Structure 1
Amino acid sequence: MDAQIGIEAITDKKGRARFVDVGREFAARLEHSVPQLRSEQLELVDPAKNPFFGHARAQLYIAHINGKPVGRISAHIDELALEMPPEQGFGPGTGMFGYLDADSEEIAAKLIDTAQDWLREQGMTRIVGPISMSIWEEPGLLVRGQDHPPIIMMGHHPAHYAQWVENAGFERVKTLYTYDLDITAEFSPLLQRVVKSGERNARITVRPVRKKEWDTEAATILEILNDAWSDNWGFVPLTADEVAYTGVKLKPIIHEDLNMIAEVDGKPVAFMLTFPDVNHVLSKINGKLMPFGWFHMLRWLRKPKGSDMRVPLMGVLREYQNSRMASQLAFMMITAIKKVATGKYGSTRGELGWILEDNQGMVAISDAIESEVNREYTIYAKSL
């Protein structure tokens, strides 16, 4: 490439807006991409609004050629991730990159070098990514599954980005899967017996969440999550501020009968969240609420008829995870949600994930319900 690549460090609100818009322009070029709400994307990179920045710092960059934006990247450090055991993926000296977009491999390499230089200046000795920007947001680079639209809160990237990242010296450290499920199909007789056995157990209650008590319910769910996922690769605990923030953000898409909490002897021990795929309506309004997109969004939120469903999160307290009851609770919650999704909302398809490749319990559950991997994301790492 003859033209010189310039790298701009973003330092203000206007710059963050341009950073988001560069990403939106790249997404618009990609087949099957779904435009997200710009206001939500702006909030994610705003230190004044996203509580992630209460324990993290970041530097955003935009690449230019002759004044034209041709790429972007983030470099960021999560202080809580630095405190995690290295065997769980992060640990001392580990910084991250995310939001990678580029017109060419040369531009991508320049952006990655710039992110690495910033992390070195901050004292980091290792880089992991892409993670945009928290592990709880959009981790991983899509390496398989570009042939169909992503579901709610999942990233969508060109297939060639993987080779560019690998050519920059990165190696794969973890694969994340999403699983596709025909929710109109009956479960096997064995699973049906497992569920019926649980339903006869007087100690077990599987109930919908209570939206009128959503703040309390969200805190309960995220308390279980922090315990259930604490030994998983890539785990970083959610803070109280993040719990509150997440609860507010999720509330508009929460339908009580699609989200379950399982109790044993009256104590909440497991949960399963299910979100109707808002991408269905975002694709119709082109990611814009104004002037009339808000009307379509509100109507869809009231009853997302025919929507695909995503199970982004589930968890069982660690004290139950090695017991037969753990899988029983999962199958009971899946069965209850599946019945409502098909009967009340007319849904035919569900998606589970992301799921770590070595999360044996969740992989076994996904296999047992005869779901199939439909997307694969890779997280890479490199020494600095």
Structure 2
Amino acid sequence: MSQKKIVIAPARSKRERARFVDLGLSFAAREPHWVPQLRSEMLELVDPARNPFFGHALVELFIARRGDRPVGRIAAHIDKLALLLPCDQGMGPGTGFFGYFDAEDDEVARALLDTAEGWLREQGMNRILGPISLSIWEEPGLLVKGQDHAPMIMMGHHPAHYAGWIEQAGYAEAKRLLTYDLEIGERFPPLVERIVRSGERNERIRIRPVDTGRWDEEVATILAILNDAWSRNWGFVPFTPEEIAHAGKKLKPVIFSDLNMIAELDGRPVAFMLTLPDINDVLRKIDGRLFPFGWARLLAWLRRPRGMGMRVPLMGVLRELQNSRLASQLAFMLIDRIRQSAYGTFRSRRAEIGWILDDNKGMMAIADAIGSRINREYVIYEKALGSAIGGNPESSALVSGDGSAATA
């Protein structure tokens, strides 16, 4: 008997979006070092009413089935802000995306990628990047190195064989993202310590904790620096006001003043560094379940997190100071100040810095100088889609008909 054909259809209703999320969780659970995530958080990310990313994006979610059995999923999406980027920043006109990619086998993988590509062509796109799930600020890239240890907060974790399936479908590497592991109990090399001590004697420089009592103001300050510092980086898409408010609300429970710093020069904020305690540490212990008792353990952890790893997801220095000795000095001072708090107050032993673009030589040099090492690598792939076959990315109609696709 021949194998049942693969049928791929959109997941648009609330119930189908839940099935899309649960399917992803079931695939992830097969990986030995995966950390169970909160289902409610995963549902929010694909909910147009709750994720502000949908305010500037068109998104279609697809589920693949063999008979009645779900065997894979994928998202295809268009970020209207990414369409406005210069082409030399990696995105720009005609670029669409795929994300949330999971497949049972190579046949399903190819069918899902074909479906995402076809949907993007219908919307007028001629190039596809991915996986990016969904925003560049959420989970960009496919994990290609580092499957042998658990991911930290807000980092994707994927099986090694996905890379081969994507490449067999005609995709090539567009950009590599790196994370660095740092033993924070170790002293920095003498040269770095001298640079930090010199900065501490400079009366123009002040390193101060983020004031959580003025959280909204501090978020605005940090995002203003970020939008300037990263504005010429590959793939940079600025945060919208709605995304800033949403991110501030979501991050506040895991923001501790001693771990998040702003650098001021002559009283003016010019650099920042955010550090998050690794909530995956407690999610692993509660198996990603808030009920019946996981919520109590999570609340206790949030009040007094101790002994967990730390992740530095974001840092930046104003563009006017970049490529100067002062920029490096500020970065070393921020890292040293937070390292002392993480080690002394929170009893942490290791931290992860990143992701960092593989052509960001300045940040890579700083990571090397403090003795960190690459522990994880992600790849964003690209593929030309050929001539677009029409469609309008501004249209509210995402696909015509039932949007389904089938392969024998």
Q: What band does the TM-score fall into relative to the shorter chain?
A: over 0.9
Per-residue CA shift, 1:326-383, capped at 9, x if unaligned? 0100100111100011111110000000000000110000000010000000000000
Which residue of structure 1 lines up, in the alignment, with residue 342 of structure 2? Answer: 341
| Code of the aligned partner of 1:176 | L
For 1:212, give the aligned amino acid. G
Instruction: Tell me the equivalent position of 1:17.
Output: 18
Instruction: Give the distance between the partners of 1:288 and 1:316, measured in 2 at CA.
Output: 38
Counterpart for residue 244 of structure 1:
245
Paired position in structure 1 for 2:370: 369
Q: How does 1:1-384 map to 2 (within 5 A)?
A: 2-384=3-385
Matched residues in 2 for 1:91 and 1:256: separation? 37
Instruction: State the AA in 2 paired with 1:269.
Output: V
Moved more, 9-18 or 100-109: 9-18
Inter-partner Cα distance in structure 2 for 1:303 and 1:88: 41
Which residue type is aligned with residue 197 of structure 2? K
Shift of 1:12: 1.1
Q: Which amino acid aligns with 1:334?
A: I
SS in 1 for 2:153: coil
State the secondary structure of the residue aligned to 2:311: strand
Q: Structure 2: which 5+ runs fail to align?
A: 386-408
Name the SS for the 1:319 alignment partner: helix
Asked which structure has the greater RCO (Cα within 8 Å, sep 6+), the reply is: 2
User: 1:99 is matched by which residue type in structure 2?
Assistant: Y
Secondary structure at 1:233's aligned position in 2? coil
The whole-number CA distance in structure 1 between the counterparts of 2:293 and 2:58 is 36
TM-score calculated relative to the size of structure 2 = 0.93
Q: Kindly provide the amino acid, as one letter, of the partner of residue 7 in structure 1.
A: I
Q: Percent identity?
A: 65
SS in structure 1 of the partner of residue 92 of structure 2: coil
Cα RMSD of the aligned pairs, angstroms, is 0.7
Amino acid at match of 1:89: G
Matches of 1:85 and 1:43 in 2, distance apart? 30
In structure 1, runs of 5+ residues without a counterpart are: none
Match of 2:404 in 1: none
* Shift of residue 323, structure 1, vs aligned partner: 1.3
Instruction: Indicate the SS of the match to 1:325.
Output: helix
2:219 alignment partner, SS class: helix
1:72-108 CA-partner distances (Å, limit 9, x unpaired): 0000000000000111110000000000000001001
Counterpart of 2:262, as a letter, is I
